[in-house]
Chains A and B, each alone.
Chain A
Amino acid sequence: MLPEKKIVIKEFNFYYDSLQALENINLHIESNEIFAIFGPARSGKTTLLKSLNRLTDLIFGARHAGAILLDGEDIYDPEMSLTQLRRRIGMVFDLPIPLPMSIFDNVAYGPKLSGTTQERRLKEIVERALRSAVLWEEVKDRLHTSALRLSGGQQQRLCIARILALEPEVLLLDEPCSGLDPISTASIEQTLTQLKKDYTIILVPHNIQQASRVADRAGFLLNGELVEQGPVYQMFTRPRDKRTEDYVTGKFG
């Protein structure tokens, strides 16, 4: 049985006013895999990620051409509800951004937005999300204390729990481990491998090593262009394009 293509990106171009950030991207992501998008700084990795849940809509002057299909539906279709889309595709940013409220309220924020108000239901959702993010054991006794008191690694897992509370289908993670110590990084990478069973994950790794540890397939983005994509092992040991080989071997960075 072939894995379904969860997300298909067809000839996608993206512009900030007159500056072209992404050029003719053709890419597909399969269900329940971890796909890494790697490349040097300012290649458009974050732009590509944010295009997937249309967070780029918030930026004035943003334009695009081409299509992005989620389960076959174009996410830029006017009929597509933005709120629905963003609940199906959740995003974690590079800096953990806990909202200035309690741990419980942080995780419950999303569900409350979509209309869940019953206290009992919220408690179930919060517990399940925190368990999936491997944070429950550490915080279950202090759910109503401020989220700002958590450590960096815990805060990042809180951010993951926040999206999981909405039961999304796809997770977008933009360098989720930057600024975290190696132990927290390891625990998050482990969490991601576990989450793969239930979610499709697209990750911008902090470095190539992280991609090779965690991802199944990867794509190399250079100056807005997708140079090549393929299974992680192949990308890093036998890259087809010279540019990929140069980057992977450290000739530029």
Chain B
Amino acid sequence: MLYRTRYLTQIIARVLIWMAALSTIAVMILILFQILKEGLPILHLRFFLDSPRSMGREGGIFSSIVGTIALTLVAILFATPLGVGTAVFLKEYTRESRVSRTIRFGTDCLAGIPSIIFGLFGFVFFVIYLNMGWSILSGGLTLAAMILPTVISTTEEAIKGVPYSYREVSYSLGGTKWQTVTRAVLPNALPGIFTGIILSVGRSIGETAAVILTAGSSLVMPTSLFSPIRTMAVHFYILAREGISMEMAYGTGAALILLVLAINLIANWLLNRYIRRRA
């Protein structure tokens, strides 16, 4: 009798777990399918190359694309040296100590802060206090702060993956710490570092809350780092919420999804090609 119930529980559990896994996959497919179905037909060349007209009801999303790229570039430009430098310091220049624990705590906390708080911070610090206004620079710097923890942790992983023996060889040949880091460690950690950067790019593209408060929402083509812009994600949000044009919303959404998908595929390919191979 007891055996039967145990067996029954086993089967029920098995079924439930399968259902959980399948429903997760199903919902994912549903969401992607819905947006791509309506949005893909909208994506023709003109959509990408034209700028928005009449508040986004017509035309394309060219200025948004430019804005998104500019914003992401600024974010990467600032986050990469800071992130790689921090990781190098943690892994090569210290070992577990009060300093390193504090730095890690700071990084972990930064990683957990919601984007709306970053938005508030970016607004009061970059837009107002430093007088940069709503601009690519304000938004990019705010984003850089957001992606910093990711760059740090992926770089740390990459550096960890470099065999200790390489360092020993470099030191035994008379290398200084700086020489060892730049010639024996970092060149071999590059694939991992790149992957981290690409993942951060994907995150930046989808970020909305922080961007809308720091880069503004102007549809005009930006002319300098101090111009306000409306990124694709922000454009998508505004179109959807204000109900301006469902068609354009679907199109922008589809473009966003495809972009993020592509970036993830590239990151995965890099991971498999360089990091798996090493192992």
Contact = CB atoms under 8 A, between A and B. Distances in A.
Contacts of A136: none
Contacts of A113: 170, 173-176, 179, 183
Nearest to B96: A60
A58 interface: yes
A86 B175 CA distance: 8
A117 B276 CA distance: 34
B101 to A, nearest CB: 16
A83 B188 contact: no
B168 interface: yes
B54 interface: no
Contact of B165 (A84, A90, A97, A109): A97
B174 A97 contact: no
Chain B interface: which size bin? Answer: 10 to 19
B9 interface: no
Contacts of B95: 60
B166 A99 contact: yes
Contact of A86 (B163, B165, B173, B183): B173
Interface SS majority for chain B = helix
A227 interface: no
A157 interface: no
Contacts of A86: 171-174
Contacts of A53: 172
Given A60-B95, A99-B184, A100-B188, A110 B168 contact: no
A83 B176 contact: yes
A114 B95 CA distance: 27
A51 B230 CA distance: 61
A163 interface: yes
A162 interface: yes
Top-10 shortest CB links A-B: A110-B173, A87-B174, A83-B174, A86-B174, A97-B165, A91-B172, A113-B175, A97-B169, A113-B179, A60-B95
